[in-house]
A and B are shown apart, each in its own frame.
Chain A
Amino acid sequence: MNTEIALQARNIGVTFTVDGGVVEAVKDVSFTLHRGQTIALVGESGSGKSVTARAIMKLLTKRASVSPKTEIIYAGQNMAQLSDRDMRRLRGNRLTMIFQEPMSSLNPVYTIGSQLAEVLRIHNPKMKKAEAWARAQGLLELVQIPDPEARIRQYPHQLSGGQRQRVMIAMALANNPDVLIADEPTTALDVTVQAEILNLIKALQAKMGMAVILITHDLTVVRQFADHVYVMQHGVVREEGLTETIFTAPQHPYTQRLLGSEPKGQANPLQGHPETVIEGRGVRVTYTLRKGGTFKGHNYDLQAVDGLSLALKRGETLGIVGESGSGKTTFGQALLRLTKLTQGEVDFMGQRIEGLDRAAMKPFRQRMQIVFQDPFSSLNPRMSVRQIIEEGLTVNNIGTAGADRLERVKRALRDAGMPDSILSRFPHEFSGGQRQRLAIARAIALEPEFILLDEPTSALDLSVQAQIIDLLRKLQAEKGLSYLFISHDLKVVRALCHRVIVMQSGKIVEQGPVADVLENPSTEYTRRLVRAAFDIAT
């Protein structure tokens, strides 16, 4: 490793003014970045890692103020003291940044070629337009976009998420920067694409000798890509050290807890021969889409779910995994009759339900529940916790009177690990993990037999995710629940499921007991998913 220092930060401090006070988002964060080195800022949401990166780039909002002690030394000058004008000369040129969301970082009305050429010409005003375009094409080749001559004239919406992130990287590398800050560069991408992007960054780093600050919450990524790790919590660096040291011998209790919260354990084995709770046979969901204009267009069918079958036993957890767009959510919601089935049969506790209308479904509703992925949109912001959880009880006339219902609401809250003193509070007062507990409380208040869990942990921090998995496992053991668990994260699936179904483009490509599928995947697709989850660099 090179010993030349690329960037040194001392005592970065950032405070935000908010309604009712001041929040110290980052306190005294210091680090040293050598040329060609990758350091990782790791932490859960709200730990201040992105704020630190933005403070370096001076991209903070007006409500933030950087403390006067902050020193960011680059090329012998303190960037914290630089004027906006001088900073503009460095930003996008010597220091560059790539963001989490590749769709919103590119301007949709310009071709990617013109956006790349613009970045080049801003910092090299003498460069000719043709020259800039030629260089832009070279950059697209560098980031391994297939067929760069054609792609350069395309618009951002014509590229996939992974390709857009490659364009962002090309843009960041356009002027051979000394420092690249990658703020969760792969979080918005499919797991299989994630590995490609990170490998690309690593290869380019070796080629160009730049230093990289990698900001992420994903410990697998850190272990594979970072040389030095800074673990952040509540705006403070709790621990720093070489990657191997941190992972093998963490000193600070927070680091230990973070490392310990990787999903582990496995589902409790099934006892005896339990009955089948829900069974789908030949379930097909077809969307009719339209291609072309009003007069020349024609309709075509998209098979979102292509004749799938499954059977779920009492007390069992069945995982459905696949990339985004593989039809796993549609399949799950079709079984719950929340999405219209085009064809197929669904049995719930031996009764056929696929032909029932909303009213006829009502008696079944309390016995089958759902927990959604995004705990922010699944709770009505205008209803109190009590109203949210009580709704199902009121609708289904469960409980004899108000007092009895209240008791059930409190019990559901306690089961979900929340205190029952929060009844009159509103969803916005809770964190993501707490909201997901509320959503689980809403589901279990009805005492269902079957719950569809639609990526319930993917919007949550790692340590919170571990708590939710523990909670789900505990509830299953206590109440004999059956789960259909939809996820793209095989680590969580391994920790929670008995069996797993792997889906691709609306079809089942592989299924079987979790251990078999994950250890001996029989298709290339499954192998890719497994690799992405367990060892990202290969």
Chain B
Amino acid sequence: MSNAVKSEAADDRLTTVSSTSQSYGALVWRRFRKSFAGMMGLTLVAMLIIVALFADFFAPVQPNAASESFSPPAKISFFTKDGFTLRPVVYPIVQSEELDPVTFQPLMSPDYDNPRRIVLFAKGWEYDFWGVIPANRHLFGLEDGSPIHVLGTDKLGRDILSRGIVGARITLMIALTSITLITIIGTLAGITSGYLGGRFDLWFQRFVEVILAFPQLPLYLALTTLIPVTAPSNLFLAFVITVIVGLGWAQLSREVRSKTMAMARIEYVRAAIAVGASDARIITRHILPNVMSHVIVSVTLGIPAIILLESFLGFLGFAVKPPLISWGLMLQDAGNYGVIGSFPWILSPVGFVLLAVFAFNALGDGLRDAIDPY
């Protein structure tokens, strides 16, 4: 009999094809590696998360420290008075002797006599590393410890790059916390409803429909105004997450429900019933692992939507309250035509949002193609 099995598989055309056994994870990774966009997304997402985790180290300037307001991005130069140098420098902007011929205000211009070198691992503002270890090293900074504004400053003179880096924390925290809760609630609700079916499913789906039918934006605005302005910012944050989750789980649960219903009719589930497996076992061992691939993809594609929502709500001033920093909150400053016209660098948080949304979308796309390797 085992001879027969061998001859069944023996096909000399297939000798060139690798026949070693591979787990599900290995197969997905093999497919994923081939997708350029997916790999780029993965790299960017990894970088974003690292930057957010070590934000204090990456931010060259203390994010709430004020200096010259609306100062333009620093010009990094490879030339000094002595000629070309491999070590970049910036020139401090100082008031010159000359006056503007129209306004008679003193003109600001770079001081070419005092180049300040940019160095890696510079000493700068002091912070507590993850709130524990005191440190004062940063990825880069000026040699003499004075602030460097790579992307300029906002209206209160705060460094935009540093705020963007520290703001990634809150933005990603909101996005990841909400998506985790959405995933847990949506998957559980979807599987339960889809697997149990019958009357429970009928009524539960009407409830889901009501949630899906809510006009989301007015509801966000109405709900967020319920919170007193004086409430602590953490409470406010928790409330924003609650609202996002409360409205966000319904869509996922719908998708999971339909997947579950299809899955519950597949014969391996019947075979499990036939060996006497309980409902709990069928859900956790047979349905959940097969639904998970779909969930993972919709999660990665759901994160950008939350980042966008946060930036939008922040722009309207409903998401995060100072002194916390988020990308949406930073964009609030850009809500004025005159400001954008005169100080375009104030729009750079849009770039952060764009980058993050692109990174998660690319990752999700790559995963979607790779997740079903059979």
Residues of A within 8 A of B (CB): 18-25, 27, 46, 234-235, 333, 336, 338, 358, 361-362, 365-366, 368-370, 372, 374, 377-383, 391-392, 395-396, 417-419, 424-426, 428-429, 431, 433-434, 437, 439, 442, 446, 464, 467, 470-471
Contacts and interface: CB of A to CB of B under 8 A. Distances in A.
A431 B12 contact: no
Interface string B97-137: 00000000000000000000000000000000000000000
A273 B289 CA distance: 48
Contact of B290 (A21, A336, A381, A442): A381
Given A20-B17, A372-B267, A419 B12 contact: no
19 contacts: A19-B17, A19-B30, A23-B16, A25-B13, A358-B278, A358-B279, A365-B276, A380-B285, A381-B290, A382-B24, A395-B275, A395-B277, A396-B276, A417-B1, A417-B2, A419-B5, A434-B9, A439-B271, A442-B271
A384 B174 CA distance: 38
Interface residues of B, number: 36
A381 B374 contact: yes
A261 to B, nearest CB: 11
Task: Rank and list the top 9 A-B pairs by shortest CB-CB distance, nearest first.
Answer: A365-B276, A392-B275, A21-B16, A417-B1, A378-B267, A20-B18, A382-B289, A380-B268, A372-B267
A433 B9 CA distance: 10
Given A25-B13, A46-B11, A428-B374, A392 B30 contact: no
B156 interface: no
Interface in B252-281: 266-268, 270-279, 281
Contacts of A19: 17-18, 30
Contacts of A378: 267-268, 270-271
A424 B275 CA distance: 21
A18 B373 CA distance: 13
Q: Is the interface of B mostly helix, strand, loop or mixed?
A: helix
Contacts of A234: 11-13
Contacts of A434: 5, 8-9
Contacts of B5: 417-419, 434, 437
Contacts of B16: 20-23
B21 A424 contact: yes
Nearest to A362: B276
Which of B5, B8, B23, B271 has its CB near the most chain A CB atoms (within 10 A)? Answer: B271
B286 interface: yes
Interface in B27-79: 30
A434 B12 CA distance: 18
A374 B267 contact: yes
Given A380-B286, A434-B5, A391 B272 contact: yes
B231 interface: no
Contacts of A374: 267
Interface string B214-241: 0000000000000000000000000000
B141 to A, nearest CB: 48
A380 B268 CA distance: 6
Nearest to A44: B8
B268 A379 contact: yes
Contacts of B2: 417-419
A418 B6 CA distance: 9
Contacts of B273: 338, 358
Interface string B279-293: 101000110011000
A348 B8 CA distance: 38
Given A23-B16, A417-B1, A428-B374, A377 B267 contact: yes
Nearest to B263: A380
A378 B13 CA distance: 28
Given A19-B18, A370-B274, A382-B24, 14 more contacts: A23-B16, A235-B13, A336-B274, A358-B278, A358-B279, A365-B275, A370-B271, A372-B271, A380-B289, A392-B276, A395-B276, A395-B278, A433-B8, A446-B275
Contact of B17 (A18, A336, A358): A18
Contacts of B281: 395
Contacts of B11: 46, 234
Given A22-B16, A46-B11, A434-B5, A426 B23 contact: yes
A364 B290 CA distance: 28
A418 B374 CA distance: 22
Given A21-B17, A395-B281, A426-B24, A361 B267 contact: no
Contacts of A431: 8-9
Which of B16, B17, B276 has its CB near the most chain A CB atoms (within 10 A)? Answer: B276
Nearest to A339: B270
Contacts of A21: 16-18
A396 B266 CA distance: 22
A195 B114 CA distance: 97
B213 interface: no
A46 B13 CA distance: 10
A391 B277 contact: yes
Which of B1, B2, B9, B285 has its CB near the most chain A CB atoms (within 10 A)? Answer: B1
Contacts of B86: none
B200 to A, nearest CB: 17
Contacts of B286: 380
A335 to B, nearest CB: 12
Contacts of B12: 234
Which of A380, A419, A439, A467 has its CB near the most chain B CB atoms (within 10 A)? Answer: A380
B10 to A, nearest CB: 9
A67 to B, nearest CB: 14
B276 A361 contact: yes
